[in-house]
């Protein structure tokens, strides 16, 4: 598989990739991003296939100027193929202010054609007889270096998209659905990334809330809001900052002090050292 992909993490490699990508009339795209550990999804890898070659572009590598992709993505003469590409488009718009024209989404096309099982692996097996093993969805794409196994996995996401597009596009034309499909694809190009908004009542859904006193419930409300805002500030998932169980434990504390908030099932020593003063201000 390796000879079919190139990992692009230096400006010199990017020059070659740019030349091939700009010249291709059809490209297939996918991304790997981490939405589990980060408050704001972190783009970690961009896969672009041109004919038989997949370019695995590292957006975390220093010195890479990806602005040329803006020309490619908005070019009406170049077809861009995605599978369930809404989030890919949102994140690329958010991070690079790219705009999109002339896309085809295999997930949307298959849905329009009446298929109910819409995963990429199922569609590839149904239409192309290709078996796709997907075992690394929770891989740490944000950590470098990436393993060859990870890069093989990432390259598979676009390896067969162009062939799948041809099959689905032919079926759309056979059934007279090409205009409806085009309308759906144009709608996808308009999607935009939206920041998360605090749900001010969600703290009431935490297990143990009903057993708190009125004062403890108010402390939990303040802690819940603090966790959301701090997680947004440092771009970490809320649960990695403080678990719901820790929030309940802290809300129950009376006469809180730095020593108490570092107690069992509460803050770690590192957490108390880093966030202790802020949390104490809330609890008091």
- How many C-beta neighbours within 10 Å does residue 79 have? 18
Is the pLDDT higher at 2 or at 19? 19
Q: What is the domain count for the chain?
A: 2
**Which of 188, 217, 251 is the last residue before a domain boundary?**
188
Segment 64-75 shows an average pLDDT of 98
Domain with 65, as residue range(s), is 2-188
Residue 135 CB neighbour total at 10 angstroms: 8
Question: pLDDT at position 263, please?
Answer: 80
- Assigned token pair, 216: 């403890």
Residue 12 shares a structural domain with residue 136: yes
Last residue of a domain, one of 123, 156, 188: 188
Residues 243-264 as b/e (b if ≥16 CB within 10 A, e otherwise) read ebebbbbbbbbeebeeebbbee
Same domain, yes or no, for 116 and 216? no
Looking at the fold, whether 15 and 152 belong to one and the same domain comes out as yes
> Cα dist. 78→21, 24, 186, 270 in Å?
10, 7, 14, 51
pLDDT value, residue 52: 81
194 in a structural domain: no
The answer to whether position 195 is within a domain reads no
Tell me the longest C-alpha to C-alpha distance in the chain.
73
Asked if 31 and 92 sit in the same domain, the reply is yes
pLDDT at 264: 80
Q: Are residues 119 and 210 in the same domain?
A: no
- Band (pLDDT 50/70/90 cuts) for residue 269 is confident
Q: Which of 33, 51, 132 is nearest to 92 (CA)?
A: 33
Spatial distance between the Cα atoms of 103 and 81, rounded to a whole number of angstroms: 6
Residues 157 and 241 in one domain: no
Local confidence band at 265 (pLDDT 50, 70, 90 cut-offs)? confident
Give first-to-last CA distance, the chain, whole Å: 59
Judge if 114 and 224 occupy the same domain. Answer: no
Q: How many residues belong to the chain?
A: 284
- For 64, phi then psi, to 5°, come to -95, 125
0.75 surpassed by pTM:
yes
Instruction: Please determine, for residue 169, whether its predicted confidence score (pLDDT) is greater than 70.
Output: yes
Query: Which tokens in the block code for residue 263?
Result: 């107690």
- Mean pLDDT for 93-121 is 97
Residues 45-59 pLDDT 10s? 999 999 889 999 999
Q: Is 71 contained in some domain?
A: yes
13 and 118 inside one domain: yes
HSE-CB at 219 with a 13 A cutoff on CA atoms is 23
* CATH code at position 121: 3.30.420.10
């Amino acid at each position: 598989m390796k000879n079919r992909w190139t990992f692009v993490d230096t400006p010199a490699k990017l020059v070659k990739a740019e030349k091939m990508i700009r010249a291709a009339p059809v490209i297939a795209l996918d991304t790997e991003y981490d939405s589990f550990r980060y408050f704001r999804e972190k783009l970690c890898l961009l896969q672009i296939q041109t004919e038989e070659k997949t370019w695995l572009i590292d957006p975390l590598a220093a010195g890479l100027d990806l602005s040329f992709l803006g020309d490619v993505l908005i070019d009406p003469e170049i077809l861009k193929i995605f599978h369930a590409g809404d989030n890919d488009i949102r994140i690329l718009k958010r991070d690079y202010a790219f705009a999109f024209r002339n896309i085809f989404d295999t997930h949307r096309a298959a849905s329009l054609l009446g298929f109910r099982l819409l995963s990429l692996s199922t569609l590839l097996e149904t239409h192309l007889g290709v078996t796709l093993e997907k075992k690394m969805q929770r891989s740490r794409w944000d950590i470098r270096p990436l393993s060859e196994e990870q890069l093989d996995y990432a390259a598979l996401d676009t390896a067969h998209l162009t062939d799948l597009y041809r099959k689905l596009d032919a079926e759309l034309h056979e059934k007279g659905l090409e205009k409806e499909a085009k309308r759906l694809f144009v709608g996808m190009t308009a999607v935009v990334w939206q920041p998360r908004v605090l749900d001010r009542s969600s703290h009431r859904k935490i297990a143990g809330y009903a057993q708190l006193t009125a004062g403890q419930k108010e402390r939990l409300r303040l802690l819940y809001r603090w966790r959301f805002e701090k997680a947004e500030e440092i771009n970490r998932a809320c649960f990695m900052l403080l678990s719901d169980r820790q929030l309940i434990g802290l809300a129950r504390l009376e006469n809180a002090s730095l020593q108490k908030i570092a107690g069992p099932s509460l803050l770690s020593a590192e957490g108390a050292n880093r966030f202790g003063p802020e949390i104490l201000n809330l609890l008091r």
